Amino acid sequence: MKKIFLVFLGLLLLFIAYNIGTRSSSSGGKFSFSSKDKVAVLTIQDVILDSDKYLESLNKIRKNNSVKAIVVRINSPGGAVGPSQEIYSELENIKDKFPIVASMGAVAASGGYYIACAADTIYANPGTITGSIGVIAQFLSYKDLLNWAKIDVEVIKSGKFKDVGSPFRTMNEEDKEYFQQLIDNVYDQFKTTVAVTRDLNKDELDSIADGKVFSGEQAQNLNLIDELGNLNDAIAFAAEQGGIEGDPELIHYPEKKSALQELLSTKLNFTSRISNFPISNSFGLFYIVDIIH
């Protein structure tokens, strides 16, 4: 009886290990028991306000010796400048170890396009919305509302620009000039990145780097992307570049969320949609396109 129990327990453990390995390698980004060469699929989705989960995923990919190529799947209108630059930089840092292919979904614009520029090859669908090369900052002003409500706000500051962008006062011309210089500098960084990675003349970028969006087909004609194709096309090309024969095994990042995390994430995303723009609620500069209301 004891022997039967031990055999049953052994089989049960093998079954659990197999299922954990299968689920992890196909969707969770966790350890896989399979030794087959893999393509890591890093999905960047929605407005980019934080880079932590993507940097953590890339660190795990770097340490996974079974990964031979990376596909960066982008479905994002962009987001904050800092996080977008961090993700781009980390992809640049690991390019010497993996071939990187970007795959654009419905929208891969502004910060989403900036990140795609780190890839060796960029795929997009003919109707993908991309481009929107530019920088934006938006500020709310409650001054008239406060005046109507007869509420005074006293501000004590160390310098004349310390409260620039405050919702409690309107900007003067000097404030606007200060912010315009800041935006122009970050905009120049964006154009430099595109010019270098896409082998384009920076001066000639002005005609297409004015915030306009393009279809995937238009973007290919402008040399902003390389190939027209879907996610499967990008995966197949990445596997080929990584020296993988046959159909590659996929390992997805970031790690899959729990049902509760998914619910909370969906709720937060919905709140972001109905408030139209994260820019309205947080200070900063953004690589973002506002095309969906």
DSSP state string for 97-125: TS-EEEEEEEEEETHHHHHHTTSSEEEE-
Longest dimension (CA), the chain: 87
What CA–CA distance (Å, rounded) separates 50 from 32? Answer: 27
Quote the DSSP letter at residue 51: -
Catalytic site includes residue 191: no
Q: Which of 162, 176, 257, 267 is catalytic?
A: 162
- Report yes or no: 202 and 175 within 8 Å, Cβ to Cβ: no
- Report yes or no: 77 and 289 within 8 Å, Cβ to Cβ: yes
What CA–CA distance (Å, rounded) separates 45 from 28? Answer: 16
Q: Across the strands, what pairs with 41? A: 71, 252
Catalytic site includes residue 141: no
Q: Which of 32, 84, 103, 110 is catalytic?
A: 110
Q: Where in the sequence numbering do the catalytic residues fall? A: 110, 162
